[in-house]
Each structure stands twice: as C-alpha cells, then as structure tokens.
Amino acid sequence: MFNWLKNRLPHNGLTAYITHSDCLLHNMGVGHPECPERLTAIRDQLMASQLFDFLQEVEAPLVTDQQLARIHPPRYVEYIESCAPAVGTFRIDPDTAMSAGTLPAALRAAGAVVKAVDLLCEGKAPNAFCAVRPPGHHAESDRSMGFCFFNNLAVGVAHALSYYKLERVAIIDFDVHHGNGTEQIFRDDPRVMMVSTFQHPFYPYCGDQPLGPNMHNVPLKAGSGGREFREAVENVWLPALHQFQPQMLFISAGFDAHREDDMGSLGLVEADYEWVTRQLMAVAAQHAEGRIVSVLEGGYDLSALARSVVAHLRVMSEG
C-alpha cells in the first residue's frame, strides 16, 4: 500500500468544486461558443437547484512548470506564453485564439486538475469536479487545437502517476468530439486506459482507429442517442474498466453530445449523463475508493450544459 494511503485524513464528504475567476478572463471573441458565460450558467444552475450548498468550492491554483512539463515540452509552453497578446487576440488556429486573459485561465485550468488529485489522494474530498476553461482534451503534447491549449486532464493524470505513484488510472471521455490529445499523450502507456464515445466522422476526424491497445474508442454515428451510448458503456467501457481495476478515474466531461447542443449531432439528455455517472461511481467504489476527478470539456448550449452538469454533480455529490 502506498504511503499516501496510510495517512489519509477524513474528508468532509462534500464533492470538491474547483474553479477560479481567472477562467472567466479567456475570451476568443464575440459569438465564439467557448465563452465565459458557460461557467456562469453552470454556477447559476447549481445555485438554483440548491446543489451548490452540497459542494465545497476550492480555488484552482496556478499549475507549475514542473507539472506542465510532465506532458508538454518546455519549448511548447514557452511558445504558448509567447503567443499571449497584451490586447486583442492572437489566433493559434482557425477556431482557437488567445486573449490577454487566456494564459492565466489556462494555467488555472490545468492547476485545478492537479489540485483535485491532491485533494482526493490526501483524503480531503471524496471526488471533484473542475469547472474550468479553456478545455483541454484536444491539446496534444506539443500542439494546441480545438479551443484547447494545455491538456488539463492529462496534466492531472501525470501528477497522479508521478507524484502519487499510482499504477493504474482510467480516463473516460464522453464529449461529442474525440479526445485526440489525450489519446496521443497516453498511447501505449500501460498505466493508463482510456474509454471514450464520440460522434464520427466529425472533428477532429480520428479515433476510429485506436492508437494503442490501452485505448477503447467507440465511434457513434450522427443521430445516435441514449440507447447507442448506453450500449457502448455497457458492452465496451464497463468490461474494460473492471478488468483494468483503476485506482483513480478521470472524466473528460464534455456535455456537447446533448441533443440541444448544435455543436454536434448526438442525442444525449440529462438522464444519460446521470446514468453514466452512476455507472462510473460504481466502478470507482469497487476499485478506486470512490476517487473520481471530473473535468469540464465541451458543452455550448448554455441551458443544456448547466442542466447536464447539475445531473452529473447530483450523482457525484451523493457519494
């Protein structure tokens, strides 16, 4: 048994809600779907549902250079830093741009996932949700794309593997877009297993051919809904997860597969997010002492996003 498990402190039982006001500063321009209002809508819906009272809000720290370097080469981090404009925007690619507030937001977003790992491994929270932006699962080790600069979840996974010496970590991604960056970073790493669903063919136009034996990708055709999604979870995800016996679960929680989100063409609803969260909670309870770190990725219809996060967090907060 690892030393950090021997000295765990009793936590207060509340799901950690990790965020920072800096994450509101990132702005890619008027009308861009990945907007600051996404976090505001989530908070407002959590308060309206009275669920916010059952979460412990934690301030996201800035990620350190050492923590980033486990995933992103220093030259890449330096490039992102050099692109940060003092005013206006700098376009990394056609749909990914930096504003003056992007760099601090990105550093907080990655730092939030590291903080979540610390809280869970030190026994200070049973699980955690990182309400952060910009998202991260498209960011490869040395390439930003798809609204993403640093791969927030991957930075947290690497922290769990390196600092806490975990031997098996599972990543679950139900965003409408394939998490190509996460797959590229952890391909062939036997300590990491990734299961995912995503619309295909669709941006980023990959994932149907897994990059390694530790990747369990399930492409879904446009128009697929809850039935097809649940079949993928039951027939592919759950058997793979139980066989792997992960010591911690990380969720790339993108809610743009919702039927009201016009970013994609899948048909999930809040009940599907609630159901899959229950399945993952059961896996975590059996193999990982309940430890789940969920990280916000996509979700661009503000109402559907907020309602879906509430459904997700209601299950997580039940413990």
Q: Please give the structure tokens belonging to residue 141.
A: 């080790």
Res 319: pLDDT = 74
Residue 168's closest CA among 239, 242, 276? Answer: 242
Number of separate domains in the chain: 1
The pTM assigned to this predicted structure is 0.96
Please check whether residue 216 lies inside any domain of the structure.
yes
For the chain, what percent of residues have pLDDT higher than 70?
97
pLDDT at 182 over 90: yes
- Domain residues for the domain of 148 are 14-318
Res 11: pLDDT = 64
3-class SS string, 71-128 = CCCHHHHHHHHHHCCCCCCEEEECCEEECCCHHHHHHHHHHHHHHHHHHHHCCCCCCE
Please check whether residue 79 lies inside any domain of the structure.
yes
Res 12: pLDDT = 74
Query: CA gyration radius for the chain?
Result: 18
Please check whether residue 109 lies inside any domain of the structure.
yes
Query: C-alpha distances in angstroms, 294 versus 31, 152, 156?
Result: 27, 11, 11
Please check whether residue 119 lies inside any domain of the structure.
yes
Rounded to whole angstroms, the Cα distance separating 225 from 271 reads 11
Catalytic residue among 137, 138, 287, 312: 138
Please check whether residue 8 lies inside any domain of the structure.
no
Of the listed ranges 33-47, 82-96, 213-227, the least confidently predicted one is 82-96
Please check whether residue 54 lies inside any domain of the structure.
yes
Res 212: pLDDT = 96
Looking at residue 257, which CATH number applies to its domain? 3.40.800.20
pLDDT at 1 over 90: no
For the chain, what percent of residues have pLDDT higher than 90?
94
> What digits encode the pLDDT tens for the residues 35-73?
999 999 999 999 999 999 999 999 999 999 999 999 999
Res 8: pLDDT = 42
Known catalytic residue at 20: no
Please check whether residue 5 lies inside any domain of the structure.
no
Please check whether residue 7 lies inside any domain of the structure.
no
